Amino acid sequence: MQLLDGKIAAQSVKDRLTEEVKKLVSRGLRPPHLAAILVGQNGASETYVASKIRNCAETGFRSSLVRMDENVSEEALKAEIARLNQDDSVDGILVQLPLPKQIREDNIIQLIDPDKDVDGFHPMNTGRMVQGLPSYIPATPYGIMMLLEHYKIDTQGKHAVVIGRSNIVGRPISVLLNQDGPRGNCTVTVCHSRTRNLAEICRQADIIVAALGKPRFLKADMVKEGSVVIDVGITRVPDTTKKTGFAIQGDVDFAEVSSKCSYITPVPGGVGLMTIAALLQNTYHAYSRRNNT
């Protein structure tokens, strides 16, 4: 078994971007700028946003954080997005999800300028991605594709099983793995909470992407010998041995599954780090498009 190490692959993306930003700055240009909106004080969201901001700084990107109260109205959030859409110094906008109940996420996502939609959640970008046109690809699926590319995983004609059909992970990764391309051309089965015989379907997979949010769900008897296993899950489970009081667990029972597969991503240290690298890549791309660099 070989580890698909997100730390190594993400660092190589970030090193490349750091060099690009240095070149821009040495030409007297400003660096790319990511603006994040964080509503409320959800612990996991705080951690994700802090990590995105830290990674911007490490790569030489500018970042700004707009904090909004948990009880903010949809109108106030919309006004903030309109402001960032208009702000010429901002290249990429992300609204950290989930949002509080009084706000409809789809209303908000559709307001982000598609050219600044570095999370790739706007329906315009989703549509373009499905048609294989240039678009912003959601960061987690994009990060998975980068990881497959980094380790030159052969996907051609392989059977990929995706567990989960969300708009941010399961559905887009199923499209990307199915598309004609160097890390695509898979035959894809998308499973979800109503799928029957899930274990049997998983056992037929050459590649499994587990994105359902159920800790240690995928067991050794659900994977075939030599398969490639990508674990997207991130769940906080109580753990009194940790200072934080919780541990992060993936959707794959790593201890069981790792001895059976050819490649596997760890959690933490796998897809999560690639997600941030992909977000930076999208922001850099947005900057280049807007500034013709």
Catalytic residues: 52, 96, 119
Cα 162 from Cα 199, distance rounded (Å): 12
CB of 231 to ligand NAD, least distance (A): 8
Residue selected from 92, 120, 233, 266 as contacting ligand NAD according to rule CB under 6 A: 233
Read off the DSSP letter of residue 137.
Answer: P
Q: Does 236 bind ligand NAD (CB under 6 A)?
A: no
42 neighbors 98 (Cβ within 8 angstroms): yes
Cβ proximity of 202 and 221 under 8 Å: no
Q: For residue 275, state whether it binds ligand NAD (rule: CB under 6 A).
A: yes
How many Å apart are CA 73 and CA 171, to the nearest integer? Answer: 30
**Residues 6 or more apart from 163 whose CB is under 8 A from it?**
170, 191, 192, 198, 202, 208, 209, 210, 211, 212, 217, 218, 251
Q: Is 164 a binder of ligand NAD (CB under 6 A)? A: yes
Q: Which stretch binds ligand NAD (CB under 6 A): 28-36, 62-70, 129-137, 206-214?
A: 206-214
Contact characters 25-54, ligand NAD, x per CB under 6 A:
------------------------------
What SS3 state is found at 249? strand
Interface pick for ligand NAD out of 40, 60, 213, 269 (rule CB under 6 A): 213
Nearest to 212 by CA among 236, 234, 237: 234
Site map 96..135 versus ligand NAD, x via CB under 6 A: ----------------------------------------
Binding status of residue 271 toward ligand NAD by CB under 6 A? yes
- Of the candidate residues 16, 128, 203, 214, the single one contacting ligand NAD (CB under 6 A): 214
Does 55 participate in binding ligand NAD (rule CB under 6 A)?
no
Pairing of strands 187-191, 207-210: unpaired
- H runs (alpha helix) in 164-270: 170-178, 198-203, 254-257
Interaction between residue 192 and ligand NAD (CB under 6 A): yes
Of 86-94, 121-129, 147-155, 161-169, which part binds ligand NAD (CB under 6 A)?
161-169
Exposure string of 79-98, with b = 16+ CB inside 10 Å and e = fewer, is ebbeebeeeeebbbbbbbee
Q: Please report whether residue 140 would count as binding ligand NAD according to CB under 6 A.
A: yes
The answer to whether residue 235 forms part of the interface with ligand NAD (CB under 6 A) is yes
CB atoms within 10 A of CB 227: 24
Name the residues that contact ligand NAD, by CB under 6 A. Answer: 140, 163-166, 168-170, 191-193, 195, 198, 211-214, 232-235, 271-272, 275
